[in-house]
A and B are shown apart, each in its own frame.
Chain A
Amino acid sequence: DAGVIQSPRHEVTEMGQEVTLRCKPISGHDYLFWYRQTMMRGLELLIYFNNNVPIDDSGMPEDRFSAKMPNASFSTLKIQPSEPRDSAVYFCASRRTSGGDQYFGPGTRLLVL
Chain B
Amino acid sequence: GENVEQHPSTLSVQEGDSAVIKCTYSDSASNYFPWYKQELGKGPQLIIDIRSNVGEKKDQRIAVTLNKTAKHFSLHITETQPEDSAVYFCAPQTGANNLFFGTGTRLTVIP
Interface size on A, residues (CB 8 A): 22
- Write the nearest CB–CB distance from A25 to chain B, whole angstroms: 13
Q: How far is the CB of A67 from chain B (nearest CB, A)?
A: 15
The stretch that binds A, out of B13-21, B37-45, B54-62, B68-76, is B37-45
Apart from A4-B43, A56-B97, A101-B34, 18 more pairs, CB < 8 Å? A42-B104, A43-B44, A43-B101, A43-B104, A44-B101, A48-B98, A56-B98, A98-B97, A99-B32, A99-B96, A101-B49, A104-B43, A104-B44, A104-B45, A106-B41, A106-B42, A106-B43, A107-B43
- With the chains together, A4 CA to B43 CA distance in Å? 10
Which residues of B sit under 8 angstroms from A43, Cβ to Cβ?
Answer: 44, 89, 101, 104
Contact string, B68-111, partner A, CB cutoff 8 A, digits 1/0? 00000000000000000000010001001111011110000000
The residue on B at minimum CB distance from A95 is B97
Contact between A45 and B46, CB atoms less than 8 A apart: no
B side interface size, CB within 8 A: 21
Q: How many A-B residue pairs have CB under 8 A?
A: 46
Contact residues in B for A52 (Cβ distance below 8 Å): none
B43 with A101: CB separation less than 8 A: no
Q: Which of B18-53 contact A (CB under 8 A)?
A: 31-32, 34, 36, 41-46, 49
Given contacts A42-B103, A43-B89, A101-B34, A93 and B43 within 8 Å (CB-CB): yes
Q: Which residues of B contact A104 (CB under 8 A)?
A: 36, 43-45
CB of B91 to closest CB in A, whole Å: 8
Do residues A105 and B43 form an inter-chain contact, with CB atoms below 8 A? Answer: yes
Is A66 part of the binding interface, using a Cβ–Cβ cutoff of 8 Å? no
